[in-house]
């Protein structure tokens, strides 16, 4: 009898998107496309489509914690990402849980043991439509309770402006902001600059306290997508579960999200969905 393939495990802690383009749905699609078994803990349920969010109901902090604990009890993940957390109470129980875990820090050069976990924080604050997805008290809790525990944070331009305390209008501003965020919270930073009018293409800045990378991909025009931030951070999480180091995982994810946007398909009038279809990323462990 042929031996069964064993796949690495990843966990997403995020909200549900009824439109299927972002949140838990996007994360699990991405994990599967990269050859990683995805587990999840749902923080809130939304009624939404690509044009907007109609309603949000949060899951109780107690149940959020129980979901995470259940996964760790029998399906311990190598890498975890957070997405839409919405409330300060939910962030509090998540931070409390990971204070009890050994999280890989940016400059940790030791071999990652089975007891260590990568924690990727996608600081989801606003929906593409403009709906607030993180309350003001939750933003403070994210900054002072969760980010100091994280391996990597993946803000877009508006989120980085809040975390770094400065406006961003250029690549140089992105570089300064990434270093400022690292200095404030101690986690590596992938600052996503896709909405910056940069002629060279869609540029992102990665900084881990020692190494700085600029990742540039051709800008894909004529497609309005939803869930790119979720998919990008989920791809980083999957690549880490597959054994890539942090810088390598970011590059795998940049290539993955670029291909997903380029291959996006029409689902309704004016609405495109990302197409996270790709052969599994090479497992390096």
Question: Residue 30 CB: number of other CB atoms within 10 A?
Answer: 31
Judge whether 32 and 99 are in contact, CB under 8 Å.
Answer: no
Query: Burial, 160: exposed, middle or buried (Cβ in 10 Å; 0-12, 13-18, 19+)?
Result: buried
Query: Burial, 55: exposed, middle or buried (Cβ in 10 Å; 0-12, 13-18, 19+)?
Result: exposed
Angle, CA of 20, 204 and 112, to the nearest 5°: 80
Q: Which residues contact 113 (CB under 8 A, 6 or more apart)?
A: none
Q: Looking at the annotation, which residues are catalytic?
A: 192, 225, 227-230
């Amino acid at each position: 009898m042929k031996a069964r393939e064993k796949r690495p495990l990843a966990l997403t802690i995020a909200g549900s998107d009824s439109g299927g383009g972002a949140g838990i749905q996007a994360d699990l699609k991405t994990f599967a496309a990269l050859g990683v078994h995805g587990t999840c803990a749902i923080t809130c349920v939304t009624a939404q489509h690509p044009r907007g969010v109609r309603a949000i109901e949060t899951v109780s902090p107690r149940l959020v914690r129980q979901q995470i604990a259940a996964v760790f009890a029998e399906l311990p993940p190598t890498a975890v990402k957070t997405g839409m957390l919405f409330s300060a109470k939910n962030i509090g129980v998540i931070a409390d849980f990971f204070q009890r875990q050994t999280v890989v820090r940016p400059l940790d050069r030791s071999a990652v043991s089975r007891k260590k976990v990568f924690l990727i924080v996608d600081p989801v604050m606003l929906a593409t439509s403009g709906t607030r997805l993180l309350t003001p008290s939750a933003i403070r809790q994210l900054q002072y309770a969760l980010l100091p525990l994280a391996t990597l944070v993946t803000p877009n331009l508006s989120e980085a402006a809040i975390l770094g305390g400065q406006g961003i209008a250029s690549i140089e501003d992105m570089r300064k902001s990434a270093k400022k965020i690292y200095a404030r919270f101690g986690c590596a930073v992938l600052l996503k600059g896709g909405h910056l009018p940069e002629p060279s293409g869609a540029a992102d800045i990665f900084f881990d306290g020692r190494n700085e990378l600029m990742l540039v991909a051709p800008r894909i025009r004529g497609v309005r997508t939803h869930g790119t931030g979720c998919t990008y951070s989920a791809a980083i999480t999957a690549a880490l579960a597959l054994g890539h180091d942090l810088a390598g995982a970011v590059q795998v994810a940049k290539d993955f999200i670029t291909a997903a946007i380029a291959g996006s398909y029409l689902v309704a009038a004016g609405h495109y969905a990302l197409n996270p279809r790709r052969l599994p990323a090479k497992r390096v462990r």
